[in-house]
Structure 1
Amino acid sequence: MTKFLPTLLGTLLLGACASQAPHSATPPSTAATPVAAPAVPADDNLNAVAWTQTALEHDLIYQETFRSAQSQLLAALKDKHWDALPSDDRIAPYKNLKPAVILDIDETVLDNSPYQARLIRKGGEFNEADWAAWCKEERARALPGAMAFTQFAAQHGIAVIYISNRAQDLDTATIDNLRKVGLPVSGPDAFLGLGTILPGCDQVGTEKNCRRQRVSQHYRVLMQFGDQLGDFVTVLSNTPTGRAQAMAPYKDWIGSRWFVLPNPTYGSWEPALFNNEWSTPRDQRRQLKIQALHSD
């Protein structure tokens, strides 16, 4: 027993010391270390592209739009006074001209959201080289309702004309892509890309007025389709006010002569929010877009 006494005394002393530890000692901190919020890309397009690619509502809007147009097309064809070109673009009388419909291509009849998805994943911005490479892949799908409408028009003797801001040197790839997905293309003249010339008409930037005027020389236009205001009318001042003024005379045409499709991923509406200055740093562009929001 005696050989265990020192050990027992030591244990009791240690226990006594522990029991007499001061209660005022500062306990270990339990505060969580602040975690920095993840940086948001300056022009993050994630929600817009995700909606475009996955939301059923997106597809239903396209189907609804093209079905509505199709239901009105034959009535427009029979009405010899019906024309869907703005007055500035109607440079030749439409009496006795053949009927046509005009459609934009990108985000109107062809879905380029995979290209936008690639930009999001690599954190890049639009550039002409990558865009041309995507177009040459000829992998864009037809948007819902576009094939049925354009085929219906062609079956009734109505020319289907595509006016696009794809460069003219993409004409072969574009026409091949259209045909692959079942969109009718009557020939090279059915695609009027950026750079198409109309003698006597000076094109400003990417505006489509000269190409619409070219169509007006040969066709009575029954309907126009697009995802940008510039697909229908010339926008002289790309500001929110200027855009509203350009559209004001034609509001009654929406849903009968003009059919507007949704595109939240890109468009002329965006640079209108930062004075059309793409050279502005990305974070500053983002701040200007935030300033354009209203919460009341």
Structure 2
Amino acid sequence: MRPHLPLALAASFLLAGCASAPSHPAATPAPPPAAEAAANDNLNAVAWTQTAVEHDLIYIQAYRDAQSQLLAALHDPNWDALAKEDRVAPTTGLPPAVVLDIDETVLDNSPYQARLVKNGGTYDEASWAAWCKEQQARAMPGALAFTQFAAAHGIAVIYLSNRAKDLDTATLANLRQLGFPVSGADAFLGLGTVEPGCDQVGTEKGCRRQLVSRKYRVLMQFGDQLGDFVDVLANTEAGRKQAIAGYMDWIGTRWFVLPNPTYGSWEPALFNNDWSAPAAEQRQQKLNALRYN
């Protein structure tokens, strides 16, 4: 936007006969408009998550559908929702559980995303941790009713999250304030939770799912990322499809996938997982990934 330049107005005299009119004072230049935040590609996604009724209906639909099937899964001793790589202990005699991701699955962090859009910022661990410690995240539609229903029927509710483990106190407090069932500190398996003998790579959840498998028969899993259900060995479009190829029959019965257009592993898959690439290059590679016919 170009700056406004002040206009120098020369005083002029208007002669009427021999009388002269007084000169007009110079006009005060208008202040420049307030600076606007740069356009942010996440604006539509965040606006949709916060304002679209369709967003809420998808969540309600998923959780209601899961609830309608939960008791049947409970009473089927052969029912288990862990991928074969994660089921490292037999299910016989194990108590039942449901496993849920936290962010954008049971807790709504769209205000944090909205702040980034408004201020032209990007995700960083410090601002994210500060948001989590505010304990202001709201419940996702349908999540509270489902988890309360599960707990009422003796089904443990396990929150398997990539929030850092040292955010456990704030996270569990936020969940409790909203009425989510929390059996204790062990209900939160955050990033940094150790499963002996299992090497966790990055933010993969496989080791923590193995930890759960030693204690519970898992009836259902919920998440907004593929990594909430199975480890993705190659984060490419083809690799992501391959990771779930053997579990398509579980979608909507054992695995319940929720929408998240604001962030996720789907995004870096579009630019070779190279977060060090300049933003303009990342954006160009996203444009290159679009299909036009």
TM (norm. structure 1) is 0.86
Q: Secondary structure at the match of 2:148?
A: helix
The match for 1:46 among 28, 43, 47 is 43
Structure 1 residues not aligned, in runs of 5+: 1-37
Instruction: Give the aligned partner of residue 6 of structure 2.
Output: none
Deviation at 1:96, TM superposition (A): 1.0
Is the helix fraction higher in 1 or 2? 1
Instruction: Give the aligned partner of residue 85 of structure 2.
Output: 88
Q: What percentage of residue pairs aligned between the two structures are identical? A: 73
Alignment-mate amino acid for residue 246 of structure 2 = P
- Bigger CA drift: 43-52 or 109-118? 43-52
Kindly name which structure, 1 or 2, has the bigger radius of gyration based on alpha carbons. Answer: 1
**Preserved contact between residue 100 and residue 221 of structure 2 (Cα < 8 Å):** yes
* 1:134-283 equivalent positions in 2, closer than 5 A: 134-283=131-280
Q: Secondary structure at the match of 1:248?
A: helix
**More relative contact order in 1 or in 2 (CA 8 Å, sep 6+)?**
1
> 1:54-87, CA deviations, whole angstroms, 9 ceiling, x for partnerless residues?
0000000000000000000000000000000000
Alignment-mate amino acid for residue 117 of structure 1 = A
Q: Distance in 2 between matches of 1:148 and 1:132?
A: 27
Q: Does 1:77 align with 2:74?
A: yes
Instruction: Give the aligned partner of residue 290 of structure 1.
Output: 287
Instruction: Give the aligned partner of residue 20 of structure 2.
Output: none
Deviation at 1:283, TM superposition (A): 1.1
Q: Distance in 2 between matches of 1:183 and 1:261?
A: 18
Deviation at 1:279, TM superposition (A): 0.7
Deviation at 1:40, TM superposition (A): 6.6
Q: Distance in 2 between matches of 1:266 and 1:228?
A: 9
Q: Secondary structure at the match of 1:84?
A: coil
Deviation at 1:39, TM superposition (A): 10
Q: Distance in 2 between matches of 1:55 and 1:64?
A: 15
Q: Which runs of 4 or more aligned residues in structure 1 lie more than 2 Å from their structure 2 counterparts after TM superposition? A: 38-41
Structure 2 residues not aligned, in runs of 5+: 1-35
